[in-house]
Each structure stands twice: as C-alpha cells, then as structure tokens.
Structure 1
Amino acid sequence: MANTIDPSVLNNMNLGAAAKKAAGSGSTEDLSNSFMTLLVTQLKNQNPMKPMENAEMTSQLAQINTVNGINQLNDTLDSLTSQIDTGQSLQAAALIGQGVLVPGDQVLKKDDATTPFGVELDSPADTVKVSIVGQNGEVVRTIDPQQVGALQAGTQSFVWDGTRNDGSTAPDGAYHVRIEATQDDKAVPVTALNYAQVNGVVTTDTGPRLDLGAIRGQVGLDAVRQIL
C-alpha cells in the first residue's frame, strides 16, 4: 500500500514559491520540470477523500506560467540590451576621426583658425549675446546680438573669426565662450558647447564612451549634440 501524504503538507510547500526559486537558479526548462515534478507528486499522494480543487490547481498552474513568462521576458530584455549595446558600439566607432560638439565652453585659436563652438537652447530666444573671454577673465570679443539673431530651441553652431573688439588679431591660445540668452527680457536656459575630435572608443560596463583626448576626457554618446 502506498504511503499517503497529507496534501496540506505539499500545499504549504507553495509550488509557486518553489518555482520562483528554481527560476533564479536554472533555465526555463528546468523550472518547468521542477514544477511538474512537484505537481505530479502532490496529485499522486493527495488524499482521495479530499482531492485538490480545480481552482487550486488552476492557481498553481497560473503561478508557474507567470514565473515562466517573467523568465522569458528577462531573456528577451537581455537580448534587446545586447543588441542596443552592439548598435551603440557601431555608432560610436563611426565617429572616430569626426569633430563633435559636446557640453563645454572652450575655444582654441591657432594661427588663423579657431575651433567652432555651439549654443544649446531649451526654448527659443529673441536675443543671444556671445562673449569670447580670455584666460584672465577679460572680454576679448563681444558678438553683437544683431549678428547672432533670434534662435530657435535646439543646437546652433558658430565660428569666431579670431579677432578682438578693436579688429586686431587675438593671440593664439585657449579662450572661453560665455553666452546669455533672453526671450522677452526673461533669461532662457542655455548650454555652451565646444568642439572636440573623437580619437577612439572605450568600452565600459555602462556602454561605449568616446575618447576626446587628454583635455576633453571621455564622454558618452548622449553628450554629442552635433557632428561637424
């Protein structure tokens, strides 16, 4: 005569909980096999005078289906994340050797050339004033708002011609750009952008990062506002 097991004992084992535990340590197939083994054992050893109710069996089946679905969803998300990482790496690699605008306020002048700079506005501005400032804080050149004109929200790029306010040529070196923007005499949030060249791509746990050299350092793809 087969030994009988009180169904309350197996019920207390909580098949759903056991399935969830298996989900954290095995594959979807292992999870299903573990659940079915527990369920068949419970059915074989249940008290024939008190068989498992249909609702109870349905509930336990629903639990395993839920855990199984979560397991499959996690696998899908892992696959999508891997594809996104691969796509970002390819995108980053395509930027090697390209010039980009990233948050920063530096402008470099050498001989008759200067690096571009940019303006990023959160909202439209009817007046934008740009000042080129030297290392000691002196204003070397003020670009008249009429020259800049009204700007829409977003990113705009500019080039300083390398001259001072008096028309003379500014010496070579590093300068800073200072930007003030208003709309109907109210200040508009603005971010200055500076030029950098992408020298390489560094792979990290958080995704690819662009190597912009010793001065600019490394930035993520989301820092790129414009490709020049």
Structure 2
Amino acid sequence: MATISGAAQVNTIESASTAAPQTNPNSGEALKNEFITLMVAQIENQDPLNPTDGTEYVSQLAQFSQVESTENLVQLMQSNTAMLDNLQVLSTAGLVDKSVTVRSDQLQMTPSSVNQGYIELLAPSNTVTIELLDGAGNVTQIPLGPKSAGQVNFTIDAQQHELNGHYQMRVSLDSGQSYSPTIFQHGTVAKVTTPAMDGTSHIEVEGIGRVAFYDVAAFSQ
C-alpha cells in the first residue's frame, strides 16, 4: 500500500469517478434539446400564411420527454443496485467466525469432524435415510428411522462412519415420496469472498465449503 506524506507527493488520478462526464449525443435529453432547436428554427422560418400545426410539435416533444424519463429511471435502478451490492459486501464481511445455517447438500469431512443440521420433511415417512456419495461413487447410509413431517435434526460423526473427504448429501424416503427434502447445515464462516464485478458474495463454511450468500438461512452468535 502506497503512503502519501506531504502535498508535494499528491498526484491527480483520473478515474471513472473523477473524470469529467461525457455527454451522450444519443441520450434522451440531448435529442430533446436538438429537437427544440430545430423546432424553433422551423417556426421562425415557416410561411406565415401557411403555419405548421403546433399539435405535432407538442406530440413529438412529449415522446422525447418520455424517453428521457425512462433513461432517468434506468439510471436510478442502476444506482440502487450498486448500493445494494455495497450493503451486501458490508454485511457479509461481518460474518467471519460467526455461526450460520445454510442450505447445502455438500459436506467436507476430516476424520475428527462432527457435522450437524436438519432436513425439512413435507410429509411423514417411515424411513428417513441420509446418503453420502463420495467422488468414487461409494454411498454411506445414515438411517434416521421413521419421522413425522417438519424439522428432522441429524448429526454426522466422521469417526463413527469412517468419513474423510468431500461428499454430496441426499435424503432417501418411503417409496412414493418423490420430492427431495431441503437440507440445512450448521457451520462457522471461515472466509467471505466478494465479487470483483456484479455478482453474489460467497462464504466459506467449515465442514460445508463455498456457499452463496443467499443460501444462508439463519445467523447466530
């Protein structure tokens, strides 16, 4: 990081935010001003015995005003989007070392890991089984037994199930229940990644991995 000390070292840096704004000749405002200039010139030089109908001028001027209003609305929306992106960056930066609950079916285990979370059942099921699929296609099953509709908590102990590595989670239910229950997992935020340009911020959650900010379902201390 450069350090500036003294007025002699201050340089003028021109960027997109400091450079003089360039007028767009095709903008609604520029076209409207050009139209008004041409309209005034035409009125001044028209045949006084056969004047042009002013209704047409008013109609065309209204169309240019509508285009200008639309451009202003687009610029306002762009400014609001940029402000929301900045607010998202500020809010995600404060999540490091905080506990969160995220929607994710990804699992990263070490031999000593213990992962907790819950699934949302839309209907009762006599059999509820969490299945962990590794990169080689092997499946580890963790039966949870019969469960009622609603929140079903689970705990995954890596040592108990001999887990180590990255897994994809899925839930197996009674035959006839074709939906996939949403999986929620608890974890601690290790890192926050903000987009270089427009996009969504991501967080790195211990035991889960990279998750989009909008997949955070709950925050806790």
TM-score (norm 1): 0.65
Distance in 2 (alpha carbons) for counterparts of 1:120 and 1:222: 18
Contact in 1 for aligned 2:88/2:201 (Cα 8 Å): no
Q: What does 1:1-228 correspond to in 2, within 5 Å? A: 25=25, 30-100=30-100, 101-106=102-107, 108=109, 110-111=111-112, 113-119=113-119, 124-127=122-125, 129-133=128-132, 135=134, 137-146=138-147, 149-151=148-150, 158-160=154-156, 169-171=160-162, 173-174=164-165, 177-181=169-173, 185-194=176-185, 197-212=189-204, 218-227=210-219
Report how far residue 109 of structure 1 moved: 5.3
Contact in 2 for aligned 1:132/1:139 (Cα 8 Å): yes
Contact in 2 for aligned 1:209/1:221 (Cα 8 Å): yes
Distance in 2 (alpha carbons) for counterparts of 1:220 and 1:95: 13
Where 2:150 maps in the other structure, the secondary structure is: coil
Report how far residue 218 of structure 1 moved: 4.4
Identity in percent: 23
Higher Rg of the two aligned structures: 1
Aligned equivalent of 1:16 = none
Give the residue type in structure 2 aligned to 1:187: S
More helix per residue: 1
Contact in 1 for aligned 2:99/2:219 (Cα 8 Å): yes
Q: Which stretch of structure 1 is more off in the superposition, 212-221 or 61-70? A: 212-221
Report how far residue 45 of structure 1 moved: 1.9
Report how far residue 56 of structure 1 moved: 0.6
Where 1:186 maps in the other structure, the secondary structure is: coil
Question: Per the alignment, do residues 59 and 140 of structure 1 end up closer, same or farther by CA in structure 2, a change over 3 Å counting?
Answer: closer
Report how far residue 216 of structure 1 moved: 6.2
Give the residue type in structure 1 aligned to 2:138: G
Distance in 2 (alpha carbons) for counterparts of 1:109 and 1:215: 8
Distance in 2 (alpha carbons) for counterparts of 1:138 and 1:32: 68
**Structure 1 unmatched ranges of 5 or more:** 1-22, 164-168
TM-score (norm 2): 0.67
**Structure 2 unmatched ranges of 5 or more:** 1-22
Number of residue-to-residue matches in the alignment: 192
Distance in 1 (alpha carbons) for counterparts of 2:190 and 2:35: 53
Question: Per the alignment, do residues 50 and 189 of structure 1 end up closer, same or farther by CA in structure 2, a change over 3 Å counting?
Answer: farther
Q: Which stretch of structure 1 is more off in the superposition, 80-89 or 207-216? A: 207-216
Contact in 2 for aligned 1:99/1:195 (Cα 8 Å): yes
Distance in 2 (alpha carbons) for counterparts of 1:95 and 1:157: 24
Where 1:41 maps in the other structure, the secondary structure is: helix
Residues 143-189 of structure 1 show CA distances to partners (whole Å, capped at 9, x for unaligned) of: 1123xx3216xxx65323567xxxxx33352455431246x943223
Could you say what the CA RMSD is over the residues aligned between the two structures, in angstroms? 3.6
Distance in 1 (alpha carbons) for counterparts of 2:47 and 2:93: 66
Residues 56-85 of structure 1 show CA distances to partners (whole Å, capped at 9, x for unaligned) of: 122112112111211221221122112211
